[in-house]
Each structure stands twice: as structure tokens, then as C-alpha cells.
A and B are shown apart, each in its own frame.
Chain A
Amino acid sequence: MRAVYTFSLMTLHMLFRRRTLWGILLVILIALAGIASVPSFDVSNQGRFVLDFGLFGIELGSLLLALGLAANLYPRDKETRTLMPLVAVPLSRWQYLLGRFFGAAIVQAAALLVTCLGLMLILLFHKLPVPGDLLPATLLIIVEGWFLLSTVFFFSFFASPPLNWPLTTMLFIVSQMSVSEFTGLLPSAPGLMRVLRMILPHADVFHIKDPIAHGFSIEPVYFLIAVFYGLCYSAFMLSLALAVFRGRDLK
């Protein structure tokens, strides 16, 4: 695991030194600045509104970060031939994949936590209540972000970055749909759609912004099960990614 740890650190350094991360963070900060301006309008339940908007921004940020950080990692390594000396000698393919994943996952989590902190400061600045479950809600979004990240890695082994973006976004949208919404996409085959919906990820389990905005607290058991589900699905997507990567010739 030492090789994976070192390669994760190497990925971490590389991502911090690239402009992509800062570009995405800039977008999130602009979004936060937009949220910060909400309390200046005369909106009823301003606190709920800001919280709802803020958590939605963090969730969207997790998708943007996953795509921005990972969609180009493997294709770029391959194109610039930086992959060859790595995979030929010190690293196995699974070590390469895990190293890149963990590096990107740490950067993504850090960026989302910073955004959460920004949201907290906005709430405090406007003397609005900061719910105790804001951090667990952000943690669940981080787990969702890791699932999205593993999905981006999976697609990146056979799809170019411009194709990876719509594929991951589509899966992100589908994963938010309820069974009835999903079945409605193809009403002529409800059975098939129900089975498909069961197999496809349920990212809706990570969204607790509505209960939090309405002042409900989250059961620790629910939180733990949702985290476990997210980690299992991420591991499953990474296994699929590794199966594709192992089968590929590195020309």
C-alpha cells in the first residue's frame, strides 16, 4: 500500500499545482457569493432558503469537481506518455488507479469542506441559525462525490473527456430519480425499468438537505448506512474501472 500512498500524494500535489482545481473552486466561490446575496432580498424563511441553495451548490460542486479533477487524468497520462514509466515499472495497474483515485478524492473532499465552511460563515454573517447536521450533510455529499469520482474514472478508461462529462452527468441525473420517475422514461417496459433502477445507483440517499432545511435531525444509523452504501458503490465502480483498465493495451 506504500506505493498507493505515495502515488496518491503525487496526484494530490499535481492537482494542487494544476489550474483546473482553482478554476472549479472559483466557480464554487462565485456560487457561494450568489448565495451570500440572498439574505439581502426580502425572502421568507431566508435561513432555509440559503441552506437549501448552499447544499445544492455543494452537491453540484461535487459533480463538477469529480469531472474536472478526474475526467482528464488517465487520458492525459496516456497522451503525454507519463503513464508508461509509471505502469511499466514501479506501479501495478490497480496501484495506479487507486493512487489517482485517492489523490483526487482527498482534493475533492477538501474543496467541498471548504465550501461547507464558506456556507457556515455566510449563515453566521447574516445571523442565521447554523444547523448541527450541516456537516453530516456535507459528508454525505462528499461520499456521493467519491461515487461520482469512481464513475468518472470508470468512463475515462474508454471514453474521451468530452464524452465522459455527459455520460457521468446522465448517470448523476438518473441516480437522483425515484422509481416512478425512472419508469416514466419508458412506460412500455415498467418491469425492466424497475430492475434497472434497482441496479443503478441511488444517489438520493445522500440528499438530506430538505430535512435539514426544515429543522429535522438525521438519525446516525441512516447516516452510517448511506455512507456504507456510497463506499460500496464506489468500490464497485472502481472494480469495473480496473477490469477495463487491465484489459487495455497501453500502446
Chain B
Amino acid sequence: MADMHPIQVTELSKQFPRKRKLGSIHAVSDISFNVKQGEIVGFIGHNGAGKTTTIKCILGLLKPSEGSISLWGNAPADSRVRKRLGYIPENPDYDNSFTPMEYLNMFASMRGLSGTWNDWKKLLSRVGLARWETTGIKQFSKGMKQRMSLAIALQSNPDLLVLDEPTGGLDPIARKEFREIILEENTRGASVFLSSHILSDVETICHRAVILSGGRLVAENSMEKLLGEENLYRITVISRKDGTEVEEIIPEADLQSRIDSLRRDNIRIIRVEAAIKSLEEVFLAATGGGEPQ
């Protein structure tokens, strides 16, 4: 049933009143998409595209102006739903007077979990905070706070992970570790909704992507379809006019005939290679250059 998707967003719009001005700002306009069971869905868009607004609506932190959101067919505020959720906020912060272990213990108690000190120790070790379990969060860098967020999000073995720019403050090695953890969680059975500016992360781990621009949904499809269903090839030849290299991209079906025709015309072929479209190219094409609208 469509209603039982971990996330179902239907015709969502969110407007904010302008400060000291008439009218309102349309942060998100009439967007619909879903996250199916076991999927990793990337949520991409430029700054101000409405990604965080959408995520906050999904989590019940913002009330939709129009449209509806359901998590497994229930309202986001439903306590049964929230128990199945893990969330990493954008730029997470925690009370500086606590240590990660204290935080995990308190969150576990608030969630009604029955973990032990050793369980949380293993969890902190998994996210790369093994040596910092009793260090005050006051001393944590942005990246360490993001690791801390990941630990809290994973603590309840959630069925759905909602991640808002989770790798923004991480170095490349930490990003790789983070991607591995997300894939492990997905293998365990968790669905993942990942908002990110780092398109290579989305391209690497997501099954599907939803692209937002100016608060509107401009593309949504599986990664294979977004990046091109058919195999494309790039042929590089030497121009007879000025001797420069010229590239041509053609589908696999036309490849042989095109090579034959180039040879017949005595045009020198330099290279023939698979032309792989990147998510960045797709994103730029879908958002009209990626500029805020």
C-alpha cells in the first residue's frame, strides 16, 4: 500500500510570513514524493531550495501550509512513528555540560531503550568516538558533533533515518566511514532519506534522488534513470577544419555505424569511451545551473 511507505509527502506546501512586509515566502510549493521500504533516497537542491523545510515538516517540527505527510501511514507526531525514527539535524549541537555517554544514556532512557554502558560504548566506537566517551561535548569539533548525532540517530536501530546534511563537517575519510554505516543500516533494513550538498555521496549510496529547486520538485527518479538508462559513448576525433579535438556523444546502438562513417570520411578517431553522466550534470541541468531561483 502506498500509504504504508516510510515517508509519503503529498502536495506539500510551506509558506512563512515575511518579517515587517506583507505577503509570505513560499519555501516549498506543491511537492510530492515518497521513500519506499528499504530505499536510500537522496534529497538534493541548492541553498534555500527548501530541503530543510521539507525535512522539518516530515519530522513535525513545522506545520505544512498545505498538503499532507505521513510516516508509515501515520501523522509525524504519532509517538509510535517517532520510536522508529532516527534523525540527524543540520549543524547539530548539544548541551555542552554533558559527555557523549551521558547523552546516550539519557536519550536511551527517554526512548525507553534498555541498552547498557557497553552497548553505548560499542556504538560510540562504531561512529569513531571511542576515545571521547567521557569527554565534555564542549571540546567537540563540528565533525565530532556530527558523529555524536549519528550515534544518537542509530541508538534505537531505527527503521527510518532522516539525515539533513550529515556529512557537511566531515573529512573525506570520515565521510567514507559515514557512507559505509548508512549502507550497513540499509542492509539491516532501514530506509534512509538523505539530504546532502555532496552529490558524490548521493550518487554513491542512493537508489533514488529527488531534486528540488526554488521550493519545487524538478526531478525525481532512480539513480540509473537520472544518470541515463542507455549506455552512451563519447567519440573524440580530430577536426579537419582546425585540427582540434572534437567530442561527440552517441548511444551504443549507433556506435558502430558512426565509427564506420567517420572512417569512410577519413576522420581520425582519437578515443572511443563510455560516457558516464554525473549526478552533478543532471543536477545542474534540472535546476537550470543550480542557481537559487
Contact = CB atoms under 8 A, between A and B. Distances in A.
B89 interface: yes
Contacts of A6: 106, 109-110
A95 B82 CA distance: 14
B209 interface: no
A90 B95 contact: no
B86 interface: yes
Contacts of B79: 92
Nearest to A2: B112
A13 interface: yes
- Interface size class of chain A, counting residues whose CB lies under 8 Å from the partner chain: 20 to 34
A251 B60 contact: no
A82 B61 contact: no
B97 A250 contact: no
B259 interface: no
B61 A90 contact: no
A7 B110 contact: yes
What's the dominant secondary structure at chain A's contact region?
helix
B89 A90 contact: no
Contacts of B107: 90
Contacts of B86: 89
B56 interface: yes
A84 B107 CA distance: 13
Query: Which of A2, A14, A89, A95 is most buried by chain B, counting CB atoms within 10 A of its CB?
Result: A89
A44 interface: no
Contacts of A42: none
Given A2-B109, A10-B106, A81 B91 contact: yes
Contacts of A219: none
A88 interface: yes
Contacts of A85: 87, 89, 92, 94, 149, 152
B86 to A, nearest CB: 7
A17 interface: yes
B110 A82 contact: no
A87 interface: yes
A18 interface: yes
Contact of A88 (B60, B93, B95, B112): B60
Interface in B94-127: 94-95, 97-98, 102, 106-107, 109-112
A80 interface: yes
A89 B61 contact: no
A205 B95 CA distance: 38
Interface of A: 2-3, 6-7, 9-10, 13-14, 17-18, 80-82, 84-85, 87-92, 95, 249-251
Interface of B: 16, 56, 59-63, 77, 79, 82, 85-87, 89, 91-95, 97-98, 102, 106-107, 109-112, 149, 152
14 contacts: A3-B109, A6-B110, A13-B102, A14-B97, A81-B89, A85-B89, A85-B92, A85-B94, A85-B149, A88-B59, A90-B82, A90-B111, A249-B16, A251-B56
Q: Which 9 pairs between the two chains have the least Cβ-Cβ distance?
A: A17-B97, A6-B109, A90-B110, A250-B61, A84-B89, A88-B59, A3-B110, A249-B62, A81-B93
